[in-house]
């Protein structure tokens, strides 16, 4: 067995696609666009990016490190939702997508989410209402699951049966985007 020097092998920037990720197991794998071995993606690396899950097929830019156990992601730089994923929810399909995109993102926390049932609810900060969150909206947003208490940002619409999320993002990704635009 070869010992790594103190600095270890140089980190590599990788563009890839999430092969699969299981939040219950706490890990998954990414396929590099350049080929090679699968890259281990641990939930702690994902949490450092501000998410607790990622949808299969999502595009990722990450920093990877060769280790004695193989190639592992050490930092997520960006995550883009899987291409071609569209919701079948009539509440959203029938709406003007530009209008949804121009509606404000609101801060919320997940009250509960049941992946097996395919839905859950979030509480908008400062309001007592519950907002319905559907699995299709998560997939379309590049997420695969949500944990109780998880902070998110979402666009909320009036659906046929009440208030519902039309888009969901990890809270930290919104903060990063806002911080970078205000440094001018």
How confident is the model over 94-110, as pLDDT tens digits? 666 777 777 889 999 99
Mean pLDDT of the chain: 83
Looking at the predicted structure, is the pLDDT value of residue 13 above 60?
yes
CA end-to-end span of the chain, whole Å? 50
Q: What does the alpha-carbon distance between residue 61 and residue 104 come to, in Å, rounded to a whole number?
A: 27
Residue ranges, comma separated, of all CATH 2.40.50.140 domains in the chain are: 12-80, 90-180
Predicted pLDDT at 83: 78
Determine which helix (DSSP H) or strand (DSSP E) holds 138, and give its type and residue range. Answer: helix 135-140
Superfamily name and number for 90-180 = Nucleic acid-binding proteins (2.40.50.140)
Q: Name the pLDDT band for 178 (thresholds 50, 70, 90).
A: very low
Predicted pLDDT at 95: 66
Mean per-residue pLDDT, 26-37:
93
pLDDT tens-digit readout, 44-80: 999 888 888 898 899 999 999 999 889 999 999 988 8
Beta bridge partners of 20: 29
Q: What is the pTM of this model?
A: 0.67
Q: Name the pLDDT band for 183 (thresholds 50, 70, 90).
A: very low
Residue 50 to residues 35, 67, 158, Cα–Cα distance (Å):
27, 24, 27
Four-residue CA torsion sign, 182, 99, 17, 136: positive
Looking at the predicted structure, is the pLDDT value of residue 1 above 60?
no
Q: What does the alpha-carbon distance between residue 19 and residue 163 come to, in Å, rounded to a whole number?
A: 33
Class in CATH terms, 12-80: mainly beta
Sorted by sequence, the CB contacts under 8 Å of residue 75 that are 6+ apart come out as 45, 48, 49, 62, 63
């Amino acid at each position: 067995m070869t010992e790594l020097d103190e600095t270890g092998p140089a980190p590599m920037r990788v563009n890839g696609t999430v092969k699969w990720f299981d939040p219950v197991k706490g890990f998954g794998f990414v396929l590099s666009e350049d080929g090679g071995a699968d890259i281990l993606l641990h939930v702690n690396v994902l949490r450092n990016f501000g998410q607790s899950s990622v949808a299969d097929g999502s595009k990722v830019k990450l920093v990877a490190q060769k280790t004695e156990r193989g190639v592992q992601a050490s930092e997520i730089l960006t995550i883009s939702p899987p291409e071609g994923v569209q919701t079948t929810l009539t509440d959203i399909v029938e709406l003007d997508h530009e209008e949804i995109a121009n509606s404000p993102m609101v801060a919320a926390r997940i009250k509960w989410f049941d992946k097996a049932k395919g839905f859950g609810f979030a509480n908008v900060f400062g309001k007592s209402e519950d907002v319905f969150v559907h699995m299709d909206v998560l997939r379309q947003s590049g997420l695969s699951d949500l944990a109780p208490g998880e902070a998110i940002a979402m666009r909320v619409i009036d659906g046929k049966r009440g208030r519902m999320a039309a888009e969901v993002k990890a809270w930290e990704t919104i903060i990063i985007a806002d911080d970078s635009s205000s440094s001018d």
